[in-house]
Amino acid sequence: MTTTTTQSVDVRIRNLHKAFGGREVLSGIDLDIPAGSVTAIIGPSGSGKSTLLRCINHLERPDAGYVQVGGEIIGYRPEGGKLRERSSRDVARQRASIGMVFQQFNLFGHRTAAQNIAEGQLAAGVGSAAARRRSAELLARVGLAGREGAYPSELSGGQQQRVAIARALARDPRLILFDEPTSALDPELVGEVLAVVKQLATTGITMAIVTHEIGFAREVADQLVFLDGGQIVAQGPPTEVLDHTDNERARAFLAAVL
């Protein structure tokens, strides 16, 4: 079990607020994710799970509060007691250290697996030979050795998602965010993707994963967070939250999905 007292905190979220069109979607989130640990985020549809992940890599700008990763505030820097917006170049640098995997894979259909993986590296100025080697290495790591030349349409959903995971790892992120990585997959393909995520969890990278796979969360997560109406209403070791939460909403949700 990881605790903030024995391990350094990698992600620190404080008083995070985000509204869309006057409706608050995140209402004061406080959360620590220790370095090298896995946090699973569960909760009903519309509770703010994706928005929370998107705030962590600045795909959404918080209205108040902040997200700190590796000691740096994402998207802003302190200046004269205030937070100033960072330059887009600086935000790009911060984002490069945070991998993200989406429900819908988001691979480029007209590019091969290797090209999809290499894209971010090439944009960052890595040479094409080095990027090619790295793509091959990452494909092997997600169980797709030799599939460099495959186009997304030639791959199953589970294989495409594993390519997306390889792409998220290409620039050696310290942190990886998964937003329902198996929700778009046929049931028989879920296991191969979860196996890759589980293996990744043993490598010391920090992970946050939004998932409805409760059994997986129980097995792999160090910390489980239940989000409801833009607030964390239950939080702790998975067994504690899953088996013993006294939060009414969390119990009702778990009774429905388990």
- Bridging pattern class, strands 223-228 and 64-69: unpaired
Which CB, 139 or 178, lies closer to ligand ADP? 178
CB of 44 to ligand ADP, least distance (A): 7
Residues near ligand ADP, by CB under 6 A: 20, 25, 43, 45-51
Under the phi-then-psi rule, with left for phi > 0, alpha for psi from -120 to 50, and beta for the rest, what region is 81? left
Which CB, 49 or 132, lies closer to Mg ion? 49
Interacting partner of 47 out of ligand ADP, Mg ion, none (Cβ under 5 to 8 A depending on kind):
ligand ADP
Which CB, 74 or 227, lies closer to ligand ADP? 227
Q: Residue 194: helix, strand or coil by DSSP?
A: helix
Interacting partner of 132 out of ligand ADP, Mg ion, none (Cβ under 5 to 8 A depending on kind):
none
Residue 42, both tokens: 């569960």
Say if CB 121 and CB 131 are below 8 A apart.
Answer: yes
| Buried b / exposed e along 226-254 (16+ C-beta atoms within 10 A) | bbbebbbbbbebbeebbeebebebbeebb
Residue 156, both tokens: 């199953």
CB of 50 to Mg ion, least distance (A): 3
Contacting range for Mg ion; rule: CB under 5 A; set: 46-54, 64-72, 86-94, 139-147: 46-54
CB of 65 to Mg ion, least distance (A): 20
CB of 75 to ligand ADP, least distance (A): 16
Which residues is 232 bridged to in the sheet?
A: 227
Single out the residue of 257, 235, 98 nearest to residue 183, CA to CA: 257
Which CB, 129 or 256, lies closer to ligand ADP? 256
Interacting partner of 45 out of ligand ADP, Mg ion, none (Cβ under 5 to 8 A depending on kind):
ligand ADP
Using a 10 angstrom Cβ sphere, with 0-12 exposed, 13-18 middle and 19 or more buried, the burial of residue 42 is buried
Applying CB under 5 A, does 211 fall inside the site for Mg ion?
A: no
Applying CB under 5 A, does 47 fall inside the site for Mg ion?
A: no
CB of 117 to Mg ion, least distance (A): 24
- Distance between CA atoms of 15 and 226, rounded to whole angstroms? 16
Which CB, 38 or 210, lies closer to ligand ADP? 210
CB of 210 to Mg ion, least distance (A): 6
Among 37, 47, 50, 182, binds Mg ion (CB under 5 A): 50
Which CB, 46 or 78, lies closer to Mg ion? 46
Q: How far is CA 108 from the centre of its chain?
A: 20
For residue 14, count other CB atoms closer than 10 A to its CB: 16
Under DSSP, the state recorded for 152 is: G
Residue numbers of the site for Mg ion (CB under 5 A)? 49-50
